[in-house]
Amino acid sequence: LTVVFTGDGAAAGSYSYTNSGYSVYEEENDRLTESLRTKVSAIKSLSIEIGTEVKNQNKMLSEMENDFESTGGLLGATMGRLRTLSRGSQTKLLCYMMLFSLFVFFVIYWIIKLR
């Protein structure tokens, strides 16, 4: 009876068993590789979508910045007009405020009196 040994010390008859074990590992590796390929593809598409969203958000922020700058300019011009008005006659402004206060007082008095 002769037994032929392979290089790893296993008998030649068990070589096909070892070979089929490698085949199972190869199939599992192929399955895992395909799973990994699918996950990488999903991450790639997700990162592309994130990049697109970031570009859109940056564009909207730029537009908002321009809107705020124009509003700031308008507000600055309005404040300048108010300063010009406040530099004018203080007595005239005080007189208008007193007349308005009296008007409001009489309106409130009249409403309370009618009840």
Task: Provide the pLDDT for residue 89.
Answer: 66
Taking only the tens place, the pLDDT of each residue in 58-87 is 999 999 998 888 888 888 888 887 777 667
Per-domain residue ranges for the chain? 28-88
Tell me the per-residue pLDDT of 7-26, one tens digit each, with 9 for 90 and over.
555 555 444 545 566 788 89
DSSP for the chain reads ----B-TTS-BGGGHHHHHHHHHHHHHHHHHHHHHHHHHHHHHHHHHHHHHHHHHHHHHHHHHHHHHHHHHHHHHHHHHHHHHHHHHS-HHHHHHHHHHHHHHHHHHHHHHHHH-
Q: What is the mean pLDDT of the chain?
A: 82
Of the two residues 22 and 32, the one the predictor is more confident about is 32
- What per-residue confidence (pLDDT) applies to 74? 84
pTM of the model: 0.46
On the question of pLDDT at 103 being above 70, the answer is yes
Q: How confident is the model at residue 56 (pLDDT cuts 50, 70, 90)?
A: very high
